[in-house]
Amino acid sequence: QLQLQESGPGLVKSSETLSLTCTVSGASISTTSYYWGWIRQPPGKGLEWIGSIHHSGDRYSHPSLKSRVTISVDTSKNQFSLKLNSVTAADTAMYYCTRIYGSGSSFDYWGQGTLVTVSS
């Protein structure tokens, strides 16, 4: 059974870099044709797509975040990662890692999510 698990600091200071890793178990990132993605949800608000990546390196990110986002894959560790720099309070959210099936917006497996709070 495929499982995804987010890890990283739960508290990040304003203007610093948020770094999260998603560890995939039950399947290999590099031997499938799936994309892998990050989605976030501010407290009490809706879902926002951050970006997606394929093990080949093909990647997409939300235009509003593109200048601050780096998404990468480490096939040797079966992980993919998110870095978001110059964070502000507006980046406080639950961050989910996901697998993407078929069309670019079919997120069929999700991690449990990790809450990241940006403090001043």
Of 16 and 41, CB closest to other proteins: 41
Question: E strand or H helix at 5, and its extent?
Answer: strand 3-7
Burial of residue 46 (number of CB atoms within 10 Å: 0-12, 13-18, 19+): exposed
Distance CA 89, CA 43 (A): 11
Of 11 and 47, CB closest to other proteins: 47
From the CB of 36, what's the least distance to other proteins, in Å? 13
Phi first, then psi, for residue 63 (nearest 5°) are -55, -35
From the CB of 89, what's the least distance to other proteins, in Å? 19
Of 1 and 120, CB closest to other proteins: 1
Residues lying near other proteins in the complex (CB under 8 A): 37, 39, 46-49, 51-52, 60-63, 96, 101-108, 110-113
From the CB of 112, what's the least distance to other proteins, in Å? 6
Of 56 and 119, CB closest to other proteins: 56
Structural contact between residues 91 and 18, judged by C-beta atoms closer than 8 angstroms: yes
From the CB of 45, what's the least distance to other proteins, in Å? 8
- Token pair, residue 84, equals 């978001």
The amino acid sitting at 111 is G
